[in-house]
Amino acid sequence: MKICIVGAGAIGGFIGTKLAATGSHEVSALARGDTLAALQQYGWRLSTNSGLVQAALHMASSDASELREQDLIIIAVKSQSLGQVAPALAPLIGKHTLILPAMNGVPWWFMKNVQADGLQAAWNKPLQSIDPAGHIQRALPEGQVIGCVVHASTSVESPGLAVHHGGQKLIVGEPAGGESARASRLVEALSHAGFEAIHSKNIRYDIWYKLWGNMTMNPVSAITGATIDRVLGDKLVRNFCSSVMLEAQAIGARIGCKIDESPEDRHAVTAKLGAFKTSMLQDVEAGRAIELDAIVGAVREIGERLEMHTPSIDALLGLTRLLGQSKNLYKI
């Protein structure tokens, strides 16, 4: 396949290197600045516990028109950047190009297939927290999108050099649900590259389930500067996280993403990861814009559309938003 990675950072570099290392695909990158220069000089690079993995780069450019039409586009930019990036991807997209957003939080297409207590009319406009001007929806053909959830811990050591810390699960599925031949082929290609690739019949649930944990741990760690073990070790903070999760759980139940676990069940799983810094805390420490709207803002907006009361989510969004604004890492 001809594959283009859009955003060759931690996740993009991780996925791009493993796909390129198979030797079965032409893997290019749409990048810029120091990352572009590093890719052009060294190719794909990934640091792992087993050593450095390097693979040939087919092509890298900051101009999508130089890369031309692709079979698969993997989008791994931060969600707040997608509205600006999406319109520039037109030269990469042909009639049969698959678009796989490997991103955190609620994706722009999420509400298209929701049946929520007869309130379908409420979903006929883009989520303002994700795609306020509708740029993403217009730029990326809905019928060519495949949903994706990434369960992996990665970081960037230097431009163009991704680091894999653990986990390599990629859950892939049709936005409308069910299975498909095209998703199966994608799962096969990802499995061949060494990923734990899963073909999901309900990718919306998988997205919501991952979000259910991330929407508390990420912002709370960013606000406090604490690693996850300390967040969960403080009873008052842990209880606050649980209250946020209960509200999100109730929203999920209304939109077909019912979670049967309790917040404490999820906390127990998260606690096994030990003392680690979330991606949002890493972004704050590095002075990078925080990915707040897709992780918390969208959940609040969906709750508003359902006329549900979400005081804990409101507080979490307000506090994290204020943190971001005070450090010039978030714009309303």
pLDDT at 117: 57
Catalytic residue among 2, 78, 210, 235: 210
What's the average model confidence in pLDDT over 102-125? 75
Question: Are 86 and 64 a contacting pair, CB within 8 Å?
Answer: no
What's the average model confidence in pLDDT over 17-43? 97
Alpha-carbon distance of 139 to 134, in angstroms, equals 9
Q: Where are the beta strands (DSSP E) in the chain?
A: 2-6, 26-30, 44-48, 51-55, 60-61, 70-75, 93-101, 147-158, 161-173, 196-199
> Whole-prediction pTM value?
0.94
**Exposure b/e, 235-245, CB count within 10 A at least 16 = b:** eebbebbbbbb
Does residue 273 carry a pLDDT above 90?
no
Distance of CA 258 to CAs 194, 207, 216, 254, Å? Answer: 31, 12, 18, 8
- Residue 327 bears catalytic tag: no
- The radius of gyration computed from the CA coordinates of the chain, to the nearest angstrom, equals 19
Please tell me which residue, 119 or 311, carries the higher pLDDT value. 311
> What tokens does 194 get?
């060494």
pLDDT at 331: 86
Q: Is 1 helix (H, G, I), strand (E, B) or coil?
A: coil
Domains of the chain, first to last: 2-201 (3.40.50.720), 205-323 (1.10.1040.10)
Phi, psi dihedral angles at 43 (to 5 degrees): 80, -165
What is the per-residue pLDDT across 198-221, written as a single tens digit (0 to 9) for each? 999 999 999 999 999 999 999 999
pLDDT at 115: 59
Q: Strand 26-30 to strand 60-61: parallel, antiparallel, or no bridges (unpaired)?
A: parallel
pLDDT at 332: 76
Alpha-carbon distance of 160 to 47, in angstroms, equals 11
Does residue 19 carry a pLDDT above 60?
yes
How many residues would you count in the chain?
332
